[in-house]
């Protein structure tokens, strides 16, 4: 095995810079999907069902991207071809999705959805699929090209760029409103402030991805094998001798042999991502009702609350950036994990009781502490327990611990909301309880370093 050289700060920056653009797209989706579908006519009890699609596509796509990119060795690179294709498709969808209400669709309901909602639904499927295709290679390239000593720093840089991208994406609608672009529209249509936010997000996305694509040179198979101390993976298969025949190891086999860290961190992930699913789904309705006393989705108050969701999500991103600086100060990663999740739980629960839009800054700042831990700690713990042989496949499979809880939470959201009296603010309390359960689950996490 060769000496695993250290990368410079700018090497690690270039590896993840495209993530900044991808995260702008993801932030626009997270902050505006409930607003968009509510504006198109969705009932609050339906909103969580729209949120099933993004994690479902991620759970299907990301393991496949990991599996096939592990086997891809071409002139463009190993992970970069998937990065480029995902970004191009995402840009196209970001142009069409916010125009769902402006196109001439039938108002006739099919399975409870009008034509505009069906168009938005299929656009959302393509958007999240393409974002997942573009997002996963960044995590894999860090695992591929950064040594164990620098991985925490590299993922911290990625977390910084991720949160900076979120900050920009969340603030776009209120920025465009501030410069005079309309923030209201006829009933059933998306405001121009949101539409232009998606347009600008698409432009920045492709520019940032192209920067990483052109700046980063991935290792060739021989360099990769030497760096990770494994057999030459240029055949892109893990081969085992079986009756004189070589067979490849599939995703289910890899999952069966996953290190214990995969499962213990996955348990924590389950509670954390279910909690954030409810934040993304019900923040708009909660803030509109509590701070603007607005329930009519076409009203000025409801759309103002929609802009404010972007502001408080931006505060969450700032909190995450600052807390990411604090996390390395902890002597124990597990202690940092617990404290971060408990602070986030306090933030979630407090949102349900706040009726002043500015006091929400503190609530979402605390939520940012949990988000910082969720972005950095799971991948640091997992990649340190893996060899480089199936890095992409395992990171793709690990994404299921992010997607599956969101799918379950979204599927149950309408039922839980009904049990909570139809009050969306109560869903934020549920989110807080889920984070507390996540903090308790950290005690089961095992740390292991690959040999």
Joined tokens for residue 230:
């494994």
What digits encode the pLDDT tens for the residues 46-98?
A: 777 777 777 777 777 777 787 788 778 788 888 888 889 999 999 999 998 88
Looking at residue 387, what is its pLDDT?
59
What digits encode the pLDDT tens for the residues 96-142?
A: 888 877 766 656 666 667 777 888 788 888 888 888 888 878 888 88
Transcribe 420-440 into DSSP letters. TTT-THHHHHHHHHHHHHHHH
- Is residue 363 scored above 80 in pLDDT? yes
CATH fold group of domain 9-229+258-444: Growth Hormone; Chain: A; (1.20.1250)
Name the residue with higher pLDDT: 184 or 245. 184
pTM above 0.85, yes or no: no
In the chain, the percentage of residues whose pLDDT exceeds 90 is 35
Q: Which residues of 27-64 are buried (b: 16+ CB within 10 A; e: fewer)?
A: bbbbbbbbbbbbbbbbebebbbbbbbbbbbbbbebbbb
Looking at residue 237, what is its pLDDT?
44
The answer to whether the CB of 6 falls within 8 A of the CB of 83 is no
Rg (CA), the chain: 22
Which pLDDT band holds residue 247 (cuts at 50, 70, 90)?
A: very low
Q: For residue 65, which of 394, 304, 344 has the smallest C-alpha distance?
A: 394
- Is residue 211 scored above 90 in pLDDT? yes
The answer to whether the CB of 25 falls within 8 A of the CB of 202 is yes
Joined tokens for residue 116:
């505009």
Residues 170, 164: Cα–Cα separation, whole Å: 10
Tokens 């039938």 map to which residue? 106
- Return the domain boundaries, the chain: 9-229+258-444
Name the residue with higher pLDDT: 124 or 208. 208
Tokens 């713990």 map to which residue? 381
Looking at residue 68, what is its pLDDT?
80
Give Cα separations from 402 to 58, 70, 379, 392 (angstroms). Answer: 9, 21, 12, 16
The answer to whether the CB of 82 falls within 8 A of the CB of 62 is no
Total length of the chain: 451
Transcribe 182-210 into DSSP letters. -S--STTS--HHHHHHHHHHHHHHHHHHH
Joined tokens for residue 30:
């997270």
């Amino acid at each position: 095995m060769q000496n695993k050289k250290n990368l410079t700060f700018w090497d690690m920056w270039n590896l993840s810079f495209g993530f900044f653009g991808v995260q702008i797209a993801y932030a626009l989706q997270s902050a505006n999907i409930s607003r968009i579908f509510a504006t198109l006519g969705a009932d609050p009890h339906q909103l969580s069902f729209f949120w099933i699609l993004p994690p479902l596509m991620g759970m299907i796509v990301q393991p496949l991207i990991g599996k096939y990119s592990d086997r891809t060795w071409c002139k463009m690179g190993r992970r970069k071809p998937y990065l480029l294709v995902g970004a191009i498709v995402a840009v196209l969808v970001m142009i069409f999705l916010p125009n769902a209400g402006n196109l001439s669709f039938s108002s006739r309901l099919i399975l409870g959805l009008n034509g505009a909602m069906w168009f938005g639904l299929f656009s959302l499927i393509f958007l999240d699929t393409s974002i997942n295709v573009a997002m996963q290679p960044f995590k894999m390239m860090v695992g591929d090209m950064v040594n164990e000593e620098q991985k925490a720093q590299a993922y911290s840089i990625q977390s910084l760029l991720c949160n900076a991208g979120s900050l920009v994406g969340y603030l776009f609608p209120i920025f465009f409103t501030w410069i005079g672009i309309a923030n209201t529209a006829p009933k059933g249509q998306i405001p121009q402030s949101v539409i232009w936010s998606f347009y600008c997000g698409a432009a920045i996305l492709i520019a940032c991805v192209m920067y990483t694509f052109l700046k980063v040179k991935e290792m060739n198979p021989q360099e990769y094998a030497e760096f990770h101390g494994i057999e030459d993976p240029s055949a892109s298969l893990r081969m085992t001798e079986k009756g004189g025949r070589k067979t490849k190891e599939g995703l289910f086999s890899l999952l069966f042999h996953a290190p214990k860290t995969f499962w213990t961190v996955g348990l924590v992930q389950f509670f954390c991502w279910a909690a954030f699913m409810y934040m993304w789904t019900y923040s708009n309705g909660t803030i509109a009702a509590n701070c603007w006393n607005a329930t009519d989705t076409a009203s000025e108050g409801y759309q103002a609350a929609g802009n404010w969701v972007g502001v408080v999500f931006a505060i969450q991103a700032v909190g995450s950036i600052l807390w990411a600086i604090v996390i390395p100060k902890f002597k124990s990663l597990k202690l940092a994990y617990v404290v971060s999740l408990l602070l986030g739980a306090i933030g979630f629960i407090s949102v349900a009781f706040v009726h002043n839009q500015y006091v929400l800054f503190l609530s979402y700042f605390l939520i940012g502490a949990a988000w910082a831990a969720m972005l950095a700690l799971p991948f640091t713990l997992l990649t340190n327990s893996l060899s480089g042989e199936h890095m992409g496949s395992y990171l793709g499979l690990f994404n299921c611990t992010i997607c599956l809880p969101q799918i379950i939470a979204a599927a149950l959201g309408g039922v839980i909301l009904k049990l909570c009296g139809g009050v969306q603010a109560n869903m934020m309390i549920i989110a807080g309880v889920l984070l507390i359960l996540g903090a308790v689950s950290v005690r089961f996490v095992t740390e292991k370093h690959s040999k």
